[in-house]
Amino acid sequence: MTFVRPLTAVVAALGVAAWLTAPHLSARQAAPGAPAGLTYFLNGANLTMSWTHSTGAFTHYLINVGTAPGVANLARFPTSSFVDPSKLPQMLSTVSNSAAPTGSYYVSVQGVNGATIGPASPEINLVIPGGCVAPGTPQNLTAIVRGSQSWIAWNAGSGGVPASYWLQASLTSGMNFDAGILGQAPLATPAFNVGLPAGTYYLRAYSTNACGTSGYSNEISVTAGVNTPARTPAPLTGRLPQFDVRAKVQEFAQAAINQGLMNGAVSCPSRPGFPDSDIEARKVNLNGFINFMVDNLRTIDQRFGYNAKTPRTAAFGSPLNAIVAGDEFAYHYGADASPGSPNIYLVDVLGGHCTFSREAPDYRTFYNEFGTWTGAGRF
């Protein structure tokens, strides 16, 4: 889901003083922590901003926009204007604008819990030139190594949308990248699944588009055949990148099929006392298929777990008492603790879920729903 609202419209539509004195500000709650890792991407007038979630409880975010540092004189825009009880978009950490006006802006984000506004994220200077923008320097280059298999990924840096990525490898640390180009990722997919010969390599990434070339990412060393930690270390800033484990998901799914774990009785168990047509209820139950998939993914990285989908009472009737989303896994990308963290990537691994034995393996990453990480009492 993309949320679109021009900054000029935000200014016109938002009565800042009125909002700050509204009746809903009477009930005080514990303040959420400051969001972090505020980044932006520009493609002409199309702007997307994202950040890592606040710690603690929050109900939505407040986006501050000003023409000078520390001054929100253009807008204080609450994401609570986005209301969809089935997906909770007001709680997402991404917002888009398809008609961002040119100019130089100072932007920060604050978590809000009911009436209580938490501290602001570090402020960024967002310059919208109205033309072509070179990509930013890739961030958080990270590798996972399990035996002869390696997963290498990074995040795009703030700036223009990259058209291509390059990963460089060297046998020595520093600027002497004599090993040359190791590979180029597809458009908008900054990740590699590679099989490296035995040895130690030094890696860095950069990105390009029609407007220019970014700087180089952080450098990392990778020793093929020597496993990285069972749980990928927390990022120093921002978020860990999303690793492309599609091939392993397909491998694990085939193993699940061979063991009879992908069928209506196992992958879509009914709730006691509810009819087979109670599809939504079955989608939030633990099942043998998703257990098998998550257990195998955790052999790659213990940051993998379940998505604890929030009960969707208004959209689907009575409370569902959600345990997990029974066809998704979650990867925790943040520096906070995993249990209960909203800092997760969501991936659907079972297409046609609960369609009466018409299920099939899938791999669909999505960002338009709110969820939190859980071990579902299993780990």
pLDDT reading at 14 higher than 60: no
Say what the pLDDT of residue 310 is.
66
Co-location of 154 and 201 in the same domain:
yes
367 and 330 co-located in one domain: yes
Q: Does residue 152 lie in a domain region? A: yes
Is the CB of residue 45 less than 8 Å from the CB of residue 133? no
Mean pLDDT along residues 263-276? 70
Q: Does 230 fall in a domain?
A: no
Task: Let me know if residue 235 belongs to a domain.
Answer: no
Task: Report whether pLDDT(315) > 70.
Answer: no
At residue 213, does pLDDT exceed 60? yes
How much is the pLDDT for 6? 40
> Is 236 part of a structural domain of the chain?
no
Residue 2, in any domain of the structure = no
Residue that terminates a domain, selected from 224, 259, 275: 224
Q: What pLDDT sits at residue 287?
A: 86
Q: Are residues 207 and 256 in the same domain?
A: no
Domain of residue 219, residue span: 136-224
Residue with tokens 């919208």: 128
The whole-number average pLDDT for the span 102-115 is 95
In this structure, are 158 and 124 located in the same domain? no
**Helix, strand counts (H, E) of the chain:** 7, 22
Query: For position 85, what pLDDT does the model report?
Result: 72
Based on the fold, state whether residues 175 and 88 are members of the same structural domain. no
Measure the CA–CA gap between 183 and 203, rounded to whole angstroms.
11
- Asked whether residue 126 carries a pLDDT value surpassing 90, the answer given is yes
| Secondary structure string (H, E, C) spanning the chain | CCCCCCHHHHHHHCCHHHHHCCHHHHCCCCCCCCCEEEEEEEECCEEEEEEECCCCCCCEEEEEEECECCECCCEEEEHHHCCCCCCCHHHCCEEEECCCCCEEEEEEEEEEECCEEEEECCCEEEEECCCCCCEEEEEEEEEEEECCEEEEEEEEECEECCCEEEEEEECCCCCCCCCCEEEEECCCCCEEEECCCCEEEEEEEEEEECCEECCCCCCEEEEECCCCCCCCCCCCCCCCCCCCCHHHHHHHHHHHHHCCCCCHHHHCCCCCCCCCCCHHHHCCCCCHHHHHHHHHHCCCCCCEEEEEECCCHHHHCCCCCCCCCCCEEEEECCCCCCCCCCCEEEEEEEECCCCCCCCEEEEEEECCCCEEEECCCCC
Cα atoms found within 13 Å of the Cα of residue 192, Cβ hemisphere only: 23
Between 17-21, 188-192, 243-247, 269-273, the lowest mean confidence (pLDDT) is in 17-21
Q: For residue 187, name the pLDDT band (cuts at 50, 70, 90).
A: low
The last residue of a domain, from among 73, 106, 128? 128
The last residue of a domain, from among 93, 108, 128: 128
Instruction: Give yes or no for residue 8 having a pLDDT over 60.
Output: no
In a domain, 241, yes or no: no
CB-CB contact of 167 with 245 (8 Å): no
CATH number at residue 202: 2.60.40.10
Instruction: State pLDDT tens for residues 47-76.
Output: 999 999 999 999 999 999 999 999 999 999
Phi and psi dihedrals of 244, rounded to 5? -85, 100
Per mean pLDDT, which range of 190-199, 324-333, 352-361, 365-374 is the poorest? Answer: 352-361
Identify whether residues 106 and 151 lie together within a single domain: no
Q: Are residues 111 and 145 in the same domain?
A: no
Are 118 and 177 part of one and the same domain? no
Residue 185 near residue 203 (C-beta atoms within 8 A): no
pLDDT attached to residue 15: 35
| Domain match, 180 and 252 both | no
The residues pairing with 200 across neighbouring beta strands, listed in sequence order, are 223
Q: Do residues 218 and 281 both lie within one domain?
A: no
- Mean pLDDT, the chain, rounded, equals 83
Q: Kindly state whether residue 73 falls inside one of the protein's structural domains.
A: yes
Do 118 and 185 lie in one domain? The reply is no
How many whole angstroms separate alpha carbon 290 and alpha carbon 266?
A: 10
Is 90 exceeded by the pLDDT of residue 369?
Answer: no
Same domain, 299 and 271: yes
Tell me: pLDDT of 312 over 60.
no
Domain count across the chain: 3
Residue 14: inside a domain, yes or no?
yes
Q: How many residues appear in the chain?
A: 379
pLDDT tens digit string along 131-175? 899 999 999 999 999 988 889 999 999 999 999 998 888 888 876
Share of the chain above pLDDT 70, in %: 80
**What is the average pLDDT across 26-36?**
83
